[in-house]
Structure 1
Amino acid sequence: MKNDQMLKIRTAEGLLRGNLEQGVFVFRGIPYAAPPTGHLRWRAPKPVQPWEGERDATLWGNASWQSREYCMAVGGGDPGVFSEDCLYLNVWTPEVDPSRPLPVMVWIHGGGFAIGAGGLAPYVGLPLASRGVVIVTLNYRLGHMGFFAHPALDKEYQDGEVVNNFALLDQMAALQWVQRNISSFGGDSRNVTIFGESSGARSVLSLFASPLSAGLFHKGIAQSAYTLPDIPRETALETGTKLAKHFNLENATAEQLRALPADAFWPLDRSLANGPVAISGDHVLPEPMLSVFNHVRQHKLPLMIGSNSDEASVLSYFGVDPAKVIEQVRQTQHIGLRLKLIRMLYDGVWDDSELGRQVARDMTFTTMGYVAALSQHRNGVPAWRYYFDYVSENARDLYPNGTWHGNEIPYTLNTLDALATQMADRPFTENDRAFAHKVSEYWLNFARDASVFSHQLKGEIVWPAWQPYADNVMRFGEKGEAALKLEKRFMRRRTQLFRLLMKKMVRLRK
């Protein structure tokens, strides 16, 4: 029987007190690393100082500095209090003393590595936790605090040990916390799934590619990961030097950089920032993530990966203008063959703007699923590909081109009810809820059962692991309507072509 005593959990760092909400235990604002402030700014996360007595774990922890207005507009809501002291996580568990340890799912939020927080309404862990898993969400360093390079900071490291991807190290520190403590919350430290969307999905793939993350998790789900190349360290160093000059620090020292106010960075022009990708070439990510997958060097772990039908809805954030994609093709093609080939692959789409929208979607998002699945197959570990094309019944007039970037999240996390206030003008229907339950069951079954030996996932339709010839992709929705079906050789020719072209045509636009 659930009682008040169960609201207290002893972790390796100290005693926590949480809440009981709708039959699920909730612990918020748990510190998983020391505050990365002062001399710890732009350093790997350090251990938490243990505390005496009981720590309140009923309030969200601080979020990293960011644009509140932008996060509320496109990031899922109000991220709460901002601080450089932002390394906190949240746990939802249905049982703290189950008869058998429960699967663990760790959500890494998206937002272009510039906005977001683990406590936003779309990411609430209660709905999935109530179905028999432990859910963890986390905050991590964003923007310049999360990804930064400068020659003065390089001097603090020995050769080959320079760190620039502090956000990725934060995520690893959260996973180390899970390994230390999740058993106290009823979770199985030997069955940890990391999952995320957009830059959260890129984080998942980067953790698959980083040699430092080995053993911290056991499988991953990447929702709408993009093919944009990681930023070379040399470029990040140039950007860091420009940033220092912006603050009148011509020959900046590490001490001067760390003395700059934490809230001075996020409003800066994008030309002075890194992202929305990681930095390649440091100790955390020695090789670009795409190179690791192309050379089949990622961790040998199961992966689910997919994207949405109208990902072009977000490309303006990445500086990609869909209307200019076809113009770019014309400029780079040889004797007109490439554009003719692309038009053949999009039979019946003649308008340059619409063609550009679909090409941009497939080159930047859909192809990432094919690239990752092919690499998984070559690595001898299973992958599952999906394509999300469902639109809530009361909002179909708003999304004529399909599912926008991020709109699948309340279905995969089953958080439609948590968004009731935000969606008051376009309320979710019972059919929407039924579809969310079906979709999220696949996510849960992946977390429960997927292993390196799996050949299929359970669900309303049995979902076989991806194979190159069949190229089975699970469609969640079709033309906005509810549907579950396997589609063979999904966009096969397009993804094969774009896999070859994306190095030349997918670029960041500053």
Structure 2
Amino acid sequence: MKTILLLTLLALAGLPTAFGQAKKPTTAIISNRVQTANGLLEGATTASGIREFKGVPFAAPPVGELRWREPQPVKSWTGVRQAKKFAPQAMQLPIYSDMNFRSDGVSEDCLYLNVWTPAKSAAAKLPVLVYFYGGGFIAGDGSEPRYDGESMARRGIVAVTVNYRLGIFGFMAHPELSKESPHKASGNYGFLDQNAALRWVQQNIAAFGGDPNKVTIAGESAGSMSVSAQMASPLSKALFARAIGESGSMLNTSFGPLPLAEAEKNGAAFAASIGAASLAALRALPAQQLLEAASKPGVPRFAPAIDGYFFTQLPTATFAAGQQARVPLLVGWNSQEMSAPFLLGKEPATPENFRSAVQKFYGERAEEVLKLYPATTAQEAEQAATDLAGDRFIAYSTWKWADMHGQTGGQPVYRYLYARPRPAMNPTAGNEPAAKGASHSAEIEYALGNLATNKVYAWTPDDYKVSETMQSYFANFIKNGNPNGNGLPTWPAAKAGGNAQVLRIDVTTKAEPEQNRARYLLLDQIFGK
């Protein structure tokens, strides 16, 4: 009897028996175990019944000779691999105060993802959300509570968060790296990590009850820029069916991508500055030493590159030609992406100081800019400076992405403006004054249903109402490619070429005509020259 029981358990786990190789389970997810292409995983179950698998490897550790190489396949394992805790975060310094990690330290060995699934069967074929974190390509991690996938999983979605290499480890190009590459490319390793994760999802997500034909990629800030990058790359555009971008894109942005020769020059200059005469010497340096050296003042940020492999041309050119992933897009930004000091520095917000700043940035085009950002009083000057700062920072490039995809993508584009300011802080968290508008990244916890994970703010019933509305739109889009659904204000798809309807998300959510197209058209003209 014991022998029969043992053989039964081995077969259910997909392990070999004395009678030959057991078939991999095709329908039942037994307990917390899932058979992937590389081996058997064991996760855990939350109190709400969601199965979670943390620290799942999707590529080989990019260390030693694999530092600055395209991600390599995972080595298969025997037995059961535990997937009950988050893996290390990518190499980074503690830069942003709003980041809260649950990861197992910091390491170059960082290419892991996390899965939350409500499926009781591998035949469930549920829609899938793959989320890329923000952090300026120098910080962030898939373990952050604001990205936690349990809330989306409770809505019938298999949620995945993905780690990718950052900073010098994720984006340094170098002539020697290009020379050794079979594609004669270097840089963009962080984007290639995301691509590897998407390929892992295609191969494995069905075992978690997900449908590889219903994958939505999403992200905020650098994560949103990543979504636009994956849409533009010939390597990735067939690996997903829908896309969500929150505040950021790679189209007409100051953050690259650079021509490969320029990116290689930056990498070579950095190597020379730290006395590394060869690629071997660079790879021999401790990761922490490299990280600290790359973070010193005056060192150029390591930006993405047009490497001829991940990017074959500027993303703007790809979208202009209609060669991007032709998928439905939900995209938007926040009402206060940046504050007035970003434009004015330490100068007070007065009409005179605002005019002076605009003249400094825009020269002979300054009068045109001032007409669209009028400021005749101190109050107007503060608002105009806030608006222009936010547009320069991220709103314009996000608008460019939405506008171009609407013109050439052949799929609906749903645009939003997120306008709900965060509430006051809890007394124990600080007394920072509340923003007048929705600041950069403020929408994440609302969109993903994770307000309760953030103990900094004193969330109100109105905040939970806004979160319920926004998460419902996101969940509908992930499931159907259309955010509309019962009980929600109608969100019309934006029409290409102007007169677009934009969903203003707040306590009272409603669609309204696009307000600031003239501003973005002018910035587009200026950027193109």
How far has the Cα of 1:107 moved from its partner? 0.6
- Tell me the equivalent position of 2:144: 120
- Tell me the equivalent position of 2:271: 244
Instruction: Determine if contact 1:240/1:272 at 8 Å carries over to the other structure.
Output: no
- Tell me the equivalent position of 2:163: 139
CA, structure 1 residues 54+101, in 2 after alignment: closer, same or farther (shift >3 Å)? same
How far has the Cα of 1:384 moved from its partner? 0.9
Q: Which of 414, 417, 426 pairs up with 1:387?
A: 417
Q: Distance in 1 between matches of 2:377 and 2:471?
A: 34
CA, structure 1 residues 231+374, in 2 after alignment: closer, same or farther (shift >3 Å)? closer
Query: What is the TM-score when the length of structure 1 is the normalising length?
Result: 0.88
How far has the Cα of 1:60 moved from its partner? 0.4
- Please tell me whether residue 489 in structure 1 is matched to residue 489 in structure 2: no
Q: Which of 175, 191, 203 pairs up with 2:214?
A: 191
- Tell me the equivalent position of 1:430: 461
Q: Distance in 1 between matches of 2:341 and 2:327?
A: 30
Q: Which of 156, 161, 174 pairs up with 2:184?
A: 161
How far has the Cα of 1:266 moved from its partner? 2.3
- Please tell me whether residue 257 in structure 1 is matched to residue 282 in structure 2: yes
| Contiguous gaps of at least 5 residues in structure 2 | 1-27, 348-352, 426-430
What is the aligned-residue RMSD (CA, Å)?
2.7
- CA distances 1:12-47 after superposition (whole Å, capped 9, x unpaired): 000000000021000000000000111111111110
Q: Distance in 1 between matches of 2:100 and 2:180?
A: 38
CA, structure 1 residues 327+348, in 2 after alignment: closer, same or farther (shift >3 Å)? closer
How far has the Cα of 1:6 moved from its partner? 2.3
Q: Distance in 2 between matches of 1:219 and 1:179?
A: 14
- CA distances 1:166-225 after superposition (whole Å, capped 9, x unpaired): 000000100111001100101000000000000000000001111111321111111010
1:297-308 matched pairs, under 5 angstroms: 297-308=323-334
- Tell me the equivalent position of 2:435: 400
1:278-317 matched pairs, under 5 angstroms: 278-313=304-339
How far has the Cα of 1:152 moved from its partner? 1.8
Q: Distance in 2 between matches of 1:76 and 1:196?
A: 17
- CA distances 1:29-85 after superposition (whole Å, capped 9, x unpaired): 000000011111111111000000000000101111111x324x1334465411111
- Please tell me whether residue 221 in structure 1 is matched to residue 244 in structure 2: yes
Q: Distance in 2 between matches of 1:296 and 1:164?
A: 25
Q: Which has the higher contact order (CA 8 A, sep 6+)?
A: 1
- Tell me the equivalent position of 1:464: 492
- Please tell me whether residue 82 in structure 1 is matched to residue 106 in structure 2: yes
**Greater Cα offset, 259-268 or 144-153:** 259-268
Amino acid across the alignment from 1:305: V
Instruction: Determine if contact 2:86/2:102 at 8 Å carries over to the other structure.
Output: no
Q: Which of 327, 334, 352 pairs up with 2:364?
A: 334
2:245 match: secondary structure: strand
How far has the Cα of 1:351 moved from its partner? 5.2
Q: Which of 9, 16, 27 pairs up with 2:53?
A: 27
Instruction: Determine if contact 2:205/2:212 at 8 Å carries over to the other structure.
Output: yes
Instruction: Determine if contact 2:178/2:185 at 8 Å carries over to the other structure.
Output: yes
How far has the Cα of 1:295 moved from its partner? 4.3
Q: Distance in 2 between matches of 1:393 and 1:187?
A: 36
| Contiguous gaps of at least 5 residues in structure 1 | 505-510
**Greater Cα offset, 287-296 or 233-242:** 287-296
1:45 match: secondary structure: coil
CA, structure 1 residues 237+466, in 2 after alignment: closer, same or farther (shift >3 Å)? same
Q: Distance in 1 between matches of 2:438 and 2:208?
A: 35
Q: Distance in 2 between matches of 1:49 and 1:127?
A: 32
Say how many residue pairs are matched: 482
Q: Distance in 2 between matches of 1:200 and 1:55?
A: 29
- Tell me the equivalent position of 1:507: none
- CA distances 1:94-121 after superposition (whole Å, capped 9, x unpaired): 1141664100000100100111110111
Q: Distance in 1 between matches of 2:449 and 2:40?
A: 30
